[in-house]
Amino acid sequence: MIRDRFARPLGSLRVSVTDRCNLRCRYCMPEAEYVWLPKSSLLTFEEIARLTGVFAGLGVTKVRLTGGEPLLRHELPALVSMLRAEPRLADLALTTNGVLLERFAAALNAAGLGRVTVSLDTLHPERMQEFARSGRHADVLAGIAAARGAGFERVKLNTVVVRGFNDDEIADLVAFGERHGAEVRFIEYMDVGGATRWSRDQVVSRAEILERLGARFGPITPVPDRDHPAAPAERFRLASGTTFGIIASVTAPFCASCDRSRLTADGTWFLCLYAAKGIDLRGPLRAGASDADLEALIRETWQGRADRGAEERLGVRERGVLYPIEALRADPRREMHTRGG
């Protein structure tokens, strides 16, 4: 195991398999046009599996496949099988918007995927049309059902709460999760790269979310999660026994326990969601670096890590959009959809 300058281990790797997406969620991709990563720069499955193996050798036990929308990458179940063959990975998960999940759920489960998280921001199809420019709400619901049906025991739902859009649905979403055997996690709207419409007043805080749920469901008790001290979500329980989570990245950042890093689809390794620059791993990989060379590069880089992006943002007085559009066009790796959340 290796530790960074704040003694945080490198435990979890988020692997983005494509920067493309079939939705245009307002909190992530509100613009009309994007600069995409060149196709030739995308890591092959063999390259992803090799890098993941090197990370596993340094102590990574959790891998989460992300996008863009990861199910847009052809043959994703084949990558899952390749990663499943790495015995040191104890946890293999996927974050998806669910649009294509019905088609792939069974194959992903058969390939050895362990867990699925689906984004669900609203229960109203017409809101999704406006908010994500998509008419495929029914497909997302079918995807959630298919994930359960395919045998994934713990399906989680991610809801980014945006004031004026879905903050009136918080309680209904918990009730939906309860009915469908899925745990909802409410995420505070973050000022990450790509959130070009972000403003402080649209953030619905953890405190406000708890207040609203308390008003509808009565007493809420925290669920201590000793097994996952680095998990971003705090979990809570209603009197009915139903649990839900809150990811308070804006009002209560969890950088102190952050063991995550992310690999973009073109092989750039980012140590923080907010980091301006990443480390190129594709270059050395394609230039013939050995596993030992790659391991040394990753080790040295992690040991120098001092990122605490979300905590630093707390200190910004006039907090607004992180990057202007021109800065995102100049380097699309600054985008949340390229970094994979």
Residues 196-235, one symbol each (x = binds ligand SF4 by CB under 6 A, - = not), give ----------------------------------------
For the CB of residue 159, give the shortest distance to ligand 5AD in the complex, in Å. Answer: 7
Q: For the chain, what is the total number of helices (H) and then of strands (E)?
A: 12, 12
Q: How far apart are CA 69 and CA 221, in angstroms?
A: 34
Stretch binding ligand 5AD (CB under 6 A), from 80-88, 138-146, 163-171, 182-190: 182-190
* Residues sharing a CB contact under 8 Å with residue 188, sequence separation 6 or more, in sequence order: 160, 161, 203, 204, 205, 206, 246, 247, 248, 249, 250, 251
- Alpha helix ranges (H) inside 187-268: 206-217
For the CB of residue 159, give the shortest distance to ligand GTP in the complex, in Å. Answer: 10
Residue closer to ligand SF4, measured from CB, 97 or 249: 249
For the CB of residue 85, give the shortest distance to ligand 5AD in the complex, in Å. Answer: 26
Closest CA to 104 of 138, 74, 66: 74
The token pair that represents 23 in the structure block: 């939705």
- Interface positions, 76-105, toward ligand 5AD (CB under 6 A): 95
Residue closer to ligand 5AD, measured from CB, 66 or 301: 66
Is 192 near ligand SF4 (CB under 6 A)? no
Q: How far apart are CA 204 and CA 187, in angstroms?
A: 9
Picked from ligand 5AD, ligand SF4, ligand GTP, none, the partner binding residue 231 (CB below 5 to 8 A depending on kind) is ligand GTP
The site for ligand GTP, by CB under 6 A, has a size of 19
Check the CA dihedral 158-160-165-168 and report its sign.
positive
The token pair that represents 163 in the structure block: 């004031």
Length of the chain: 341
- Residue 181 phi/psi, 5-degree rounding, is 65, 35
Picked from ligand GTP, ligand SF4, ligand 5AD, none, the partner binding residue 307 (CB below 5 to 8 A depending on kind) is ligand SF4
Closest CA to 271 of 247, 249, 234, 304: 304
For the CB of residue 138, give the shortest distance to ligand SF4 in the complex, in Å. Answer: 33
Stretch binding ligand SF4 (CB under 6 A), from 104-112, 211-219, 272-280, 329-337: 272-280
Do residues 19 and 265 touch, judged by C-beta distance below 8 A?
yes
Closest CA to 60 of 230, 265, 247, 256: 230
3-class SS of residue 226: coil
Is 175 near ligand GTP (CB under 6 A)? no
Residue closer to ligand GTP, measured from CB, 169 or 183: 183
Residues 188-207, one symbol each (x = binds ligand 5AD by CB under 6 A, - = not), give -xx-x--x------------
The token pair that represents 323 in the structure block: 């990057």
The site for ligand SF4, by CB under 6 A, has a size of 12
Picked from ligand GTP, ligand SF4, ligand 5AD, none, the partner binding residue 146 (CB below 5 to 8 A depending on kind) is none
Residue in the block written with tokens 């972000």: 198
Beta strands (DSSP E) in 6-153 are: 12-16, 62-66, 91-96, 115-119
Is 258 near ligand GTP (CB under 6 A)? yes
- Interface positions, 33-62, toward ligand 5AD (CB under 6 A): none
Stretch binding ligand SF4 (CB under 6 A), from 161-169, 195-203, 271-279, 318-326: 271-279
Do residues 310 and 274 touch, judged by C-beta distance below 8 A?
yes
Picked from ligand 5AD, ligand SF4, ligand GTP, none, the partner binding residue 233 (CB below 5 to 8 A depending on kind) is ligand GTP
Residues at the interface with ligand GTP (CB under 6 A):
64, 93, 95, 117, 156, 158, 187, 190, 231-233, 247, 249, 253, 258, 260, 273, 310, 341
